[in-house]
Amino acid sequence: MTLPRQRGLTEQAADAAIDTACRLLRLPSIRNEFTEIADRAIKDQMTYRGFLAELLMTECDDRARRRSERRIKAAGFPREKSLRAFNFDANPNIDAATVHTLASCEWIKKSQPLCLIGDSGTGKSHMLIALGTEAAMKGYRVRYTLATKLVNELVEAADEKQLNKTIARYGRVDLLCIDELGYMELDRQGTELLFQVLTEREEKNSVAIASNESFGEAHMFRRTCARRRRNHPGSARLRFSPGDGSCARPL
């Protein structure tokens, strides 16, 4: 479709032409906000270049926001949680500076793991979702799952001869968040299948695990963490155990 080009358009005709062009070029933000930006440009006496830059940056910012929203939705978080909403006063042993360092996502860039260890109700799931959300907003592909749900999916995939495909799918995301690891006993098959997922991601992509204390100290996923520690000495765990005075430590 070719739009008619003519000089001396009325304001109404110009607005209609802009609306049509934005639809054809798929520029919804410019189409929605053009009038407001144009009025502000006149008021602020913007140059033509300044006005064009304002239009284009509006579209770019909105596209970035929509991409973040899609990544957050694709992650499958069960609810919205943010670092801003985390109550550090109720968790005095969790160092805010350490958490905000983790929020920079450098550990994901380096394919390092993170373990959040502590008792129920100490904020591990909140922190796991919040850090996962930060990663999605920074452009990383994130997937959240409960440990039991992941194991059940793996068992079903094994029964249907789709195990390799399922493990590969979980291996591709930049950050895999596994919540509530250790809250239910896993049988030998479930344990080994889960270990295969962790092995698939080893030294390739990051995994963040929220676990209760006893499981975090003793169970099989520490085999993967131990191997990663040799390759990534900066890997860390956060303890959510009130009163022990600890925070982030090497795995």
Residues sharing a CB contact under 8 Å with residue 36, sequence separation 6 or more, in sequence order: none
Interval 124-152: pLDDT, tens = 999 999 999 999 999 999 999 999 999 99
SS3 of residue 163 by DSSP: helix
Computed over every residue of the chain, the mean pLDDT equals 83
Interval 195-243: pLDDT, tens = 889 888 887 899 999 987 655 444 544 554 445 445 554 556 666 654 3
Are 181 and 209 in contact, with CB atoms under 8 Å apart? yes
78 forms beta bridges with: none
Structure tokens at 36: 């407001």
| Confidence label for 249 from pLDDT (cuts 50, 70 and 90) | very low
Mean pLDDT of 40-49: 92
- Residue 170: how many CA atoms within 13 Å on its side-chain side? 29
Q: Is the pLDDT of residue 118 over 70?
A: yes
Which DSSP category does 186 fall into?
Answer: -
Q: In Å, how far are 15, 73, 77, 113, 157 from 142, measured between CA atoms?
A: 41, 10, 9, 14, 21
Q: What is the structure's pLDDT at 5? A: 57
* Helical packing angle, 28-44 and 11-25, nearest 10°: 140
Q: What is the structure's pLDDT at 7? A: 61
Q: How far apart are CA 77 and CA 58, in angstroms?
A: 28
Q: Please give the residue that has the higher pLDDT: either 184 or 23.
A: 23
Q: Return the number of other C-beta atoms located less than 10 Å from residue 236's C-beta.
A: 19
Q: Please give the residue that has the higher pLDDT: either 41 or 216.
A: 41
DSSP calls for 76-145: T-SS---STT--STT-TTS-HHHHHHHTTTHHHHTT--EEEEE-TTSSHHHHHHHHHHHHHHTT--EEEE
Angle at 46 between CA 45 and CA 50, to 5 degrees: 180
Q: What is the structure's pLDDT at 131? A: 96
Q: In Å, how far are 17, 86, 170, 234, 239 from 249, measured between CA atoms?
A: 60, 20, 27, 9, 8
Q: Return the number of other C-beta atoms located less than 10 Å from residue 5's C-beta.
A: 7
Interval 50-83: pLDDT, tens = 999 999 999 999 999 999 999 999 999 999 999 9
